[in-house]
Amino acid sequence: MVLGGKSQQLLSKIATNDKHGENSPYFDGWKAYDRNPFHPTNNPQGVIQMGLAENQLCFDLIEEWIRNNPKASICTPEGLHQFRNIANFQDYHGLQEFRNAMANFMSKVRGGRVRFDPERILMSGGATGANELIMFCLADPGDAFMIPTPFYPGFVRDLCWRTGMQLIPVHSDSSNNFKITREALEAAYKKAKEDNINVKGLIITNPSNPLGTTLDKDTLKSLVSFTNEKNIHLVCDEIYAATVFSSPNYVSVAEVIQEVEHCKRELIHVIYSLSKDMGFPGFRVGIVYSFNDEVVNCGRKMSSFGLVSSQTQHMLASMLSDENFVTRFLKENSRRLEKRHDKFMKGLEEVNITRFPSNAGLFCWMNLKSLLKEPTFEDELKLWRVIIHEVKLNVSPGSSFNCSEPGWFRVCFANMDDETVDIALNRIRAFVGRETKKPLGMKRWQPNLSLSFSSRMFDETAVMSPHSPIPTSPLVRAT
């Protein structure tokens, strides 16, 4: 098929522009990984995937639960009698027991300090679908949402691609620990107004991706009061809520609004998913929880475009309503994340790599400014290519997160086993060791790389999507 102008004209702008954001470096690194994926025995020199925020630390607990609870599946002899009812169930309200279990789980994750109403729980195709859905409900094409930087690169696609919405970055930097200040918000809001942009709300991720930190209560309260005051929405993406492994404790926006006087609850919405907390990205469980009745009503109808498979709803209804299991899981999950985080941090400290202090998430925000020749994004990208091709680690450059200062990198640590962490740390040690030994005047590294971005623009076969990092998965190898 010839990709000519005539062919392009037959398709929509959305189909042919690149607002899906997949030409950003965030996705580019996966290409290098996919071509040469690390495997401890088959390919020990391959690229280690550290760009994928997955939680692989607790599968054993879940597998054990599944083995012990055959009724939770509609395909086992114990559960087969429910097959036809579940297979037939396409009601966009979702299974009642699923919503009850989700509400319960979400409450437990927040230490029981807040209760969620199952009637407000809407399903969607993962958090990806949930974020798009809430924007369709709150914003018209051309409207804008403010978003603090650095932020998850996928938001450009999720929030803006098909909705026609635009993002207004509210910059923060390391000088004040990337805090979201009232001044910054006010300034961004004012400028938007001057530019005649209709700001419909503010979206935050708490715990933060990529920072790996939780917001303190005061900051949250100030965000609530700011948005309330301007009569705009506050969307809180809380998909990392159960990955908090050390103090300060997690505070959800749902908790805060209980304490804010005269809070306009109809402006508050929470996005959730089981992809990070439980490590189930494949099951596509996204949730929109809104305190606004109209949004719940309309959002529920829209959820038809991405309902959760009833087979999955049924299994999770059973799993998440098992109180003992949930308590044990959440505790053990935090413990293992903390252990993994501490191991990784220690390794970085040994080579004087600083990182942003974090208490949550599946990654750390690494400071590699000292390795940049110039404090520019160009040099950041150059360094990034070296890390991928020479150090053989796929990490994510801060520029892909819209970070306002160069030199930061997000490194994921929960998607591999302990041995691979050791290997990754060794490689980092070796690389930093080499770099620091070079005389200062000399160029730090010679990028001999022919990787270019522009050739990828129309290379459809190179399109990336989140992959399982396990290279020998029988699923990927299927006939």
Partner 1 sequence: MKLLSTKATCNSHGQDSSYFLGWQEYEKNPYDEVMNPEGIIQMGLAENQLSFDLIESWLDKNPDVPGFKSNGKSIFRELALFQDYHGLPSFKKELVDFMAEIRGNKVTFDPNHIVLTAGSTPANETLMFCLAEKGEAFLLPTPYYPGFDRDLKWRTGVEIVPIQCTSSNNFQITEPALQQAYQDAKKRNLRVKGVLVTNPSNPLGTTMSRSELNLLIDFIKDKNMHLISDEIYSGTVYSSPGFVSVMEILKERNDLKDCDVPVGDRVHVVYSLSKDLGLPGFRVGAIYSENEVVVGAATKMSSFGLVSSQTQYLLSAMLGDKKFTKNYISENQKRLKRRQRMLVSGLQKAGISCLKTNNAGLFCWVDMSHLLHSNTFEAEMDLWKKILYEVRLNISPGASCHCTEPGWFRMCFANMSEDTLNLAMKRLKAFVAAESNDNACSKRTSRRKSLSNWVFRLSSRDHREQEER
> Which member of 160, 204, 268, 295 binds partner 1 (CB under 8 A)?
295
Our finding on whether 137 is near partner 1 (CB under 8 A) is yes
Smallest separation, CB 315 to partner 1 (Å): 7
Backbone angles phi, psi at 83, to 5 degrees: -50, -55
Q: If binding is defined by CB under 8 A, does position 142 make contact with partner 1? A: no
Please give the Cα distance from 262 to 253 (Å, whole number): 15
Q: Does the annotation mark 276 as catalytic?
A: yes
453: contact with partner 1 by CB under 8 A: no
Beta strands in 171-294 (DSSP E): 199-205, 233-237, 268-273, 285-290
Piece in contact with partner 1 (CB under 8 A), picked from 74-82, 96-104, 108-116, 207-215: 74-82
Tell me which of 3, 187, 430, 449 binds partner 1, using CB under 8 A.
3
CB 276 within 8 A of CB 152: no
Task: Tell me, residue by residue from 42 to 61, as one string, x for binding to partner 1 by CB under 8 A and - for no binding.
Answer: ------------x-x--x--
Q: Which of 61, 66, 167, 423 binds partner 1 (CB under 8 A)?
A: 66
**307 binds partner 1 per the rule CB under 8 A:** yes
Sheet-wide strand order for 354-355: 354-355, 363-367, 408-412, 396-397
The residues in 7-46 that bind partner 1, with binding defined as CB under 8 A, are 7-8, 10-16, 20, 22
Contacts of 458 (CB under 8 A, 6+ apart): 3
Tokens of 230: 């301007």
Determine which residue in the list 23, 128, 209, 399 makes contact with partner 1, applying CB under 8 A.
128
Give the β-pairing of 363-367 and 354-355. Answer: antiparallel
Judged by CB under 8 A, the chain residues 213 through 252 that form the site for partner 1 are: 231, 233
How far apart are CB 439 and partner 1 at their closest, in Å? 45
* Closest C-alpha to 227, from 187, 186, 261: 186
Give min distance, CB of 129 to partner 1, in A.
5
Our CB check for partner 1 shows the closer of 185 and 285 to be 285
Using CB under 8 A as the binding rule, the residues of this chain from 374 to 433 that contact partner 1 are none
Selected range binding partner 1 among 310-318, 337-345, 360-368, 371-379, rule: CB under 8 A: 310-318
* Number of residues located near partner 1, criterion CB under 8 A: 95
For residue 205, the tally of other CB atoms under 10 A from its CB is 24
Label residues 257-288 b or e (16+ Cβ within 10 Å = b).
beebeebbbebbbbbbbbbbbbbbbebbbbbb
Residue 138 interacting with partner 1 (CB under 8 A): yes
Considering only residues 113, 190, 193, 301, which one is a binding residue for partner 1 as defined by CB under 8 A? 301
Can you name the residues that pair with 233 across neighbouring β-strands?
Answer: 201
Distance, C-alpha 366 to centroid of its chain:
17
Please identify which residue in 40, 68, 75, 216 interacts with partner 1, judged by CB under 8 A: 75
Exactly one of 221, 276, 382, 392 is catalytic; name it: 276
Q: Which of 129, 148, 150, 406 binds partner 1 (CB under 8 A)?
A: 129
Task: Supply the DSSP symbol for 265.
Answer: G
Which listed residue (134, 204, 239, 287) is catalytic? 239
Of 111, 150, 431, give the one whose Cα is nearest residue 244. 111
Q: Inter-axis angle of helices 217-230 and 182-194, to 10 degrees? A: 20
Q: For residue 28, indicate whether it is catalytic.
A: no
Tell me, yes or no, if 369 is annotated catalytic: no
Query: Looking at 106-114, 176-184, 299-307, 377-385, which segment touches partner 1 (CB under 8 A)?
Result: 299-307
Neighbouring residues of 93: CB distance < 8 A, sequence distance ≥ 6: 99, 300
Q: Counting contacts by CB under 8 A, is residue 76 touching partner 1?
A: yes
Spatial separation of the C-alpha atoms in residues 173 and 152, rounded to whole Å: 16
Distance CA 464, CA 264 (A): 41
Pairing of strands 166-170, 285-290: unpaired
Residue 478 interacting with partner 1 (CB under 8 A)? yes
**Residues between 148 and 167 that touch partner 1 (CB under 8 A):** 157-158, 162
Contacting partner 1 (CB under 8 A), which of 61, 192, 197, 298?
A: 298
To the query of whether residue 237 is one of the catalytic residues in this protein, the response is yes
Q: Check residue 281 for interaction with partner 1 (CB under 8 A).
A: yes
For the annotated catalytic residues, the residue numbers are 152, 237, 239, 276
